[in-house]
Every structure is written in C-alpha cells, then in structure tokens.
A = this chain, B = another copy of it.
Amino acid sequence: MNPKDTSTGTLSYEQAGVNYDLIDPLKVAAQRAAAATGANLAAHGFTEVPASRGESAYVVDVGPFYLASIVECLGTKTLVADDMQKLTGKSYYDSIAQDTIAMAVNDLITVGATPLVVQAYWSAGGSDWFGDAQRSQALVAGWKRACDTCGVAWGGGETPALAGIVEAGRIDLAASCTGLVNPKERLSVGDKLAAGDAIVLLASSGIHANGLSLARKLVERLPQGYLTKLPDGTTYGEALLAPTVLYSPVTEALYKAGITPHYCANITGHGWRKLLRHPATLTYRIDKVPPVTPVLRFMQEHAKQDDREAYSTLNMGAGFALFVRAQDAQRTVEVAQAAGVAALVAGRVEAGPKQLLIEPLGIRFGDDDLQLR
C-alpha cells in the first residue's frame, strides 16, 4: 500500500490494505484439509452435507435434522467505533455487538438453519478494555438485544485479555452460531436453485461490516473526517455505525408462511458478486436495484469508484439475497416487509452462462469475477 497513490485517485479494496493473494493459498490448503475430515463423522453414525462445503455454514446430517455451525469475525468496524467514541464521547458498542452477531447469524441462515445458540468471542488487548463500564455495558446490552431479535440463546463465550497479541485498547470480536435445519426440507444448500427462480433482495442498513478498511481509508481524504455530514444530515461516522440488519426474523417468517428459499446469499465481502456464489452455470438478471444507502453513495463518490467497482465491493443497499420460486416472489417481499425489512423483486435466474447482469447500471460480472471455492 502506497499512501501517495491513494490520496486523490480511485481507492480500491487492495489499496485499503487487504491482500487476498496472501490469504488465499492458506485458505485453499485449509479447505482441502478440512474437507478430508468430513469422513470422521462416520464413526459417530453421521455424515456431512457435502454441498455445504463452500457455502456460508457447515451442515451435518444427524438424523432427525441437520446441524449447522459457523464462526464469524466482525472485522475492523470496532476501529470506527473507537474513533467515534473519542469524537463524541458516546459508545457505539451496542451497534457493534449487533454487527458481530449479524455476521454469524446472517451466514448461518443461508443454509436454511434456524439459529439457536450464539457464543461470544471478545478478545481484548488487555484487562483494562473491560474497565470502561459504559462501553462494556453497551456491548453486553447490544449483544443481548440482538440475541432476542434473532430468538437465539446466548450460551456463553470467552473474554480473554491478550496483551501482546491484540493491540492495547482494541478488541477482536467474533461470534459462533449453532442451529438446526428443522424440518430437513428447509435445507437450502443450492440443489433446488433453477432457471425461472426470482431474486428478492433485502435492504441493508448501510455498510454493515464489510468494506470498513476502505471506509476508514477514506477518512483521510475528508477534512472533517468521521464528522463530515452526509446529505441527510447524519455524520459519516454515525452512518457507518448503523448496525447490520439481522435477517433471521425474515427467514423464520418465510418458513412460517410456507416459503422455502431455493438458495440464499449473504451479501458481505465482494459485494454483489456474492450473487454468483452458487456453483451452477446460470445467469442472474437484475432489472431493478434497491435505493443505495446514503453512506454507500457517499463512499462511492469520495473513493471515485464507478458503479462496477462499487457493486463489486459494497452491498449498495442490498444486504441479503433470497432465490425463491417465481410464484413466491411477491409474497416473499410482503413477508420481509412485515418483519420490518424492506425488500424488492430485483430480477430472475435464467439458463445461460454464469454471469450477473445488473441491467439498470449496465454492469456484467462473469464467473472469473468471483472465486470463493
């Protein structure tokens, strides 16, 4: 990363400090080794669901239902909360708590699971992190509220003080989540996805918890920094800290309404390219895009990104994608909205080469634009 290259020109994700080339060889080695351990379940009379390898949550067939589990990291959003606390005196850790749970829960539900238990992983740079009572209470209160919203039990967790590993004054937040796919027909690891399905997009609340490296880098370009006002009057920092939407109330309400998604994609890192997550050769044609959250429009403008780059990195107003039968599309929107989450029928799945066509914006992403497996 070279600061002088990023002061005025287009700011990409790699310039913001994340080098996937270095991480990916390890990921590939880890995925291969992990895949080889699936056979260990046979000794207990169980089997893995092979299609869940490469999906957002790992699924095991334990007989009467499927068991799904996951661990997820918040990332660097705490750095924004820490800076904003210095500027405003307010703790944003209630929102940060929800973000952390959302990272885990929103991934777990993609396979059709009902989240049941969340465990907290709060790894601080020293015991003194926990001495800030306002911040600690905000973290606890936000964590509980998010658990209540999702109907999960907060099982426990770890609160280590790791001086020498986590930086002084900082905290590394993560959550694990365990759930059940019950009844088993709810499993949505992708075998049902087909041409003709509708694509329903659920609204995001803002940046959620991906793209924060870029968001933080942009602050250097703003004379008012995090206190820069957006057109709607909120500050950039506050807008970034809008908590991630929890989507499990929507997926649970859909089940109760008799709608089983054929597939789901949590739109996190890689932005809308996540719509290409499914391994099949299919075309995803988008004919309507949701309104872009103001903070994301602001980021796009100040990072001087064209639409293609912005939609390839950020959620641009769509936090979660549901692929449902065409005849369920409108009802899916209604159920989501009744659960408090704006939604729209954005497009459809078609036979054709693997590609995502965002027609209103003239953008095409091909298979080579997303390599997650």
> Which A residues fall within an 8 A CB radius of B?
17-23, 25-27, 29-31, 33-34, 36-38, 40-41, 43-44, 46, 48, 53, 57-58, 60, 62-65, 67, 69-73, 75-76, 78-79, 114, 116-117, 119-121, 123, 126-128, 130-131, 133, 136-137, 140-141, 143-144, 147-148, 150-167, 170-172, 174-176, 178, 180
A37-B136 Cα distance, complex, nearest whole Å: 18
A-B contact pairs, 29 of them (CB 8 A): A18-B161, A19-B128, A19-B161, A21-B127, A25-B133, A26-B130, A29-B140, A34-B120, A34-B153, A34-B156, A37-B148, A40-B150, A41-B153, A58-B117, A58-B153, A60-B116, A60-B153, A63-B64, A67-B178, A69-B117, A69-B155, A70-B155, A73-B160, A76-B163, A121-B174, A165-B166, A166-B167, A167-B167, A172-B172
A188-B151 Cα distance, complex, nearest whole Å: 26
Residues of B within 8 A of A156 (CB): 31, 34, 53, 57-58, 70
Top 3 closest A-B pairs, CB basis?
A58-B155, A176-B176, A19-B127
Asked, given contacts A64-B63, A172-B162, whether A128 binds B34 with beta carbons under 8 Å apart, the answer is no
Do A40 and B152 have beta carbons less than 8 Å apart? yes
Most B Cβ at <10 Å: residue of A23, A141, A152, A163:
A23
Do A33 and B144 have beta carbons less than 8 Å apart? yes
A27-B228 Cα distance, complex, nearest whole Å: 36
User: Least Cβ distance of A45 to chain B in Å?
Assistant: 9
A54-B155 Cα distance, complex, nearest whole Å: 10
Do A34 and B144 have beta carbons less than 8 Å apart? yes
A175-B136 Cα distance, complex, nearest whole Å: 23
Do B119 and A30 have beta carbons less than 8 Å apart? no
Do A30 and B164 have beta carbons less than 8 Å apart? no
A319-B167 Cα distance, complex, nearest whole Å: 30
Do B18 and A127 have beta carbons less than 8 Å apart? yes
Residues of B within 8 A of A65 (CB): 62
Do A141 and B33 have beta carbons less than 8 Å apart? yes
Do B22 and A127 have beta carbons less than 8 Å apart? yes
